[in-house]
Amino acid sequence: MPGVDVSERPCLRETPTAIDGFRLWKSALSPDQQRALLAEVEAGIAAAPFYRPTTPGGRPFSVRMTNFGPLGWVSDRAGYRYQPHHPGTGEPWPAIPPVLLQLWDAATGWLEPPDACLVNLYEAGARMGLHQDRDEADLRAPALSVSLGDAAVFRIGPAEGGRTTSLRLESGDVCALTSAARLARHGIDRVLAGSSSLMAGGGRLNLTLRRARC
């Protein structure tokens, strides 16, 4: 399925935020683009099925996940890391959908393409505690996230700790952690069930593009 050149869409307009380095594009993907991207994601999931990661201490995540791209982020008792194959099947991860690569170019302007795309599935009751994305070789490279499905309450705060800010991320929204916000603490407090009809059965998909290696 061909990608859509979002760089030519007038609705890819940045929404101002009060957080230095946190960039937000509301409704960056149209409903048709969301459906097309969901179909590509579902095709990738057929080759690299969701699994439930655990923390190094053995506690299961509330989200299920998989990855696309040359590298995938995994977590288990051996620690947090990137690796080139699915931990369950042993097969390479599927390719990153072209529209996500186009979004990376249009939204971030980073010269090197992402080499990892984390795919997190938030089902009923799933959340993600405050954390930092710091397992990458070059922490200057942005982390770009795309939301599909039910809306979520996203929380973000300074890397060094302190007051956090909450906002609603809806299906088709795109955001990025860059510059001063690259190591911001962030997470998902809750998913607003029934707020989108995109995904059969509900739920939320979050696709996070990163540059894992230099």
How far apart are the C-alpha atoms of 83 and 168, rounded to whole Å? 32
Q: What is the pLDDT of residue 130?
A: 97
Domains of the chain, by residue range, sit at 6-210
Is 107 in a helix, a strand, or coil? helix
Task: Name 198's Cβ contacts closer than 8 Å, sequence gap at least 6.
Answer: 31, 34, 35, 38, 148, 149, 171
Q: What is the pLDDT of residue 9?
A: 47
Task: Name 18's Cβ contacts closer than 8 Å, sequence gap at least 6.
Answer: 165
Q: Report which secondary-structure segment, H or E, holds 67.
A: strand 64-68
- The upper half-sphere exposure of residue 10, i.e. CA atoms within 13 Å in the direction of its Cβ, equals 0
Q: What is the pLDDT of residue 214?
A: 82
The pTM of the full predicted model, rounded to 2 decimals, is: 0.93
Q: What is the pLDDT of residue 11?
A: 57
Q: What is the pLDDT of residue 12?
A: 74
Report the CATH fold assignment for 6-210: Jelly Rolls (2.60.120)
Tens place of pLDDT per residue across the chain (214 aa): 344 444 444 357 899 999 999 999 999 999 999 999 999 999 999 999 999 999 999 999 999 999 999 999 999 999 999 999 999 999 999 999 999 999 999 999 999 999 999 999 999 999 999 999 999 999 999 999 999 999 999 999 999 999 999 999 999 999 999 999 999 999 999 999 999 999 999 999 999 999 999 8
Q: What is the pLDDT of residue 2?
A: 41
Q: How many CB atoms lie within 10 A of CB 156?
A: 19
